[in-house]
Structure 1
Amino acid sequence: MLFANKTEAVENRIAVNDLVSVSLKTLIDLAKPASSLNLHRLTIRAQQSGGYLSAFKGRGMEFDETRLYQPGDDIRSIDWRVTARTGKTHTKLFREEREKPVFISVDNRPTMQFATRGVFKSVQAKKLAALLAWVANQQGDRIGGQVFSQSSCKELKPQNGKHSVLHFLNALVIADNPAESTDITLPQALFRLSQHARPGSLVYIISDFRGMNHQVENYLLKLSEHCDVVLIFVYDPLEKGLPAQGRYRFTDEAREVVIDTSDKQRITNYQLRFEERLQKLKRIALRRGLALIQCNTQDDPVQRLRHPLEVR
């Protein structure tokens, strides 16, 4: 009987751990369900009914060779350096890249270490990132990314093959190990992202987007000028609306706060803050031609990527 109790306690501890952190095995095992997904399903045009998915620009183009200008060539493709050197007008020729760089940015800041239902926002974000990485690998695209927390920000150059996926997944798991604090903000992370994501990339940003300001929008604009950008907004249901009347205690093991939901004005202000953040994201997505997917901590991440226009 004592053995049974110990076994049950271990199983319960493992179950709890799966809710607040993610293992490398869990992320690797997502390769199988990822086989039923297709990133091209996210290229749906925005619907008048309120969807915010935009048409992507397609695969990038890279320089191939230069030849003599021919009637009908686009003057924007003239190679002025060769033209000046030879005295004859030359045109640059481009070819379609066989692989599209996929760059996945994952928010692992303290605000992502939270949930009242389902899994931590950070766990959901990493599962979404792993699924996207596996799908990109299946499609022959190069996988790279960025993992940022309050204490660190790491970029991985897009590369081919399963090894690049595993390298990225390992970075997601390691991100749970705290380092010396440097107080990295969302704008700082997006600035770095805009410096590392090469033109023609498909960029996913998975975050709760706390800390949005005009700098964030500017960096998203810069990214959208040369890349296809998908915003994945991860949130806990409690952030959208507090439960029925009562007193609720929340703690991060260092601090504690008690919320009394009988205070109508406080509840209204609380809900407005979430709605303002969501509406701001929607406005940015619509204005900049970005894709926006919403995913809460109770959602099945596979289903959210299979049906990105549905809102929970």
Structure 2
Amino acid sequence: MRVVEVTAYGGPEVLRMARRPEPEAGERPGMVRVRLKAAGVNQADLRIRAGRYADVVGELRPPFVLGTDFAGRLIDPLPDMPAGTRVAGFVPWFEALTGEGTYAEVIWAEPDWVAPIPDDVDYTVAASVPLAAATAQRGLDVLDLPQGATLLVSGASGVVGRLAVQYAAAAGLRVVAIAHEGDQHELKVLGAEHPVERGTPDEIVERVLAAVPERVDGVFDGAFLGAPLLECVKGGGTFVALVPDRTPAAERDIRVETVLGRPDAPRLKETLEKVAAREMITRVADVMPLEEVAEAHRRAEAGHRPGRIILMI
């Protein structure tokens, strides 16, 4: 089968198409095979490829296959899903550390990683959701803010931040959303009370404090802005970071946590159903063939446009 391997740590040029044996039935008891139609390109993929997490992955070294998000069809049946069922999910790459990601034609998956895709959701949209939804939900779980509290979401134009805005608004939080120019109106429709245009860290802090002079109760740092956003948080508030290297040191009794999305099939199923019903909105930035993965990484690193880049397989 076709896969994309990271041949060495470095830029997008280190990504290479390769061939590996296709998984065979029964090789991994308790796991199922999924034939992929689409896979997402995540920020974690870019950082792993560049070697920024080389100390985190232990003895794992290139060549390995990147990728977490996936959408495709079950090859092996599950009790509630026959073979051929359209499914989406994500591989917990950092927890498994097998080097077997979703830039591949066929993957192994645990049953609790996958959820059925509703008929009205296509593969590209489905592949944009799993890790983003799990990360946003995990972040809100850790923040644990009461109804009426104020949450600042950075990166609200991207898929993780966009979902965080929607989950937070549904939970009764007042949302301040940092977004690309032109996205403010849409984010208000999605539940943001105060859309704030992004800029330099100083400009963002100034704009947030102009909107919420009393400061916010919590931050979901979807854009990896890090320490500058602490200025926007009340003493005793909470700051959730998504990557270790952009997790600030705590100050003023602010609780600082780094979160990692965890597979949760029932929650994913619910979110995909809401996407199908147009009750939640994700964002696909580009759809590209697997063979153009290096260009996909270049576009993602350049901030080509907000949203998830999807590889068609």
Query: Normalized against structure 2, the TM-score is what?
Result: 0.25
Between Structure 1 and Structure 2, whose CA radius of gyration is higher? 1
Relative to total residues, which structure has the larger strand share, 1 or 2? Answer: 2
Q: As a proportion of its length, which structure holds more helix?
A: 1
What's the TM-score, normalizing by structure 1? Answer: 0.25
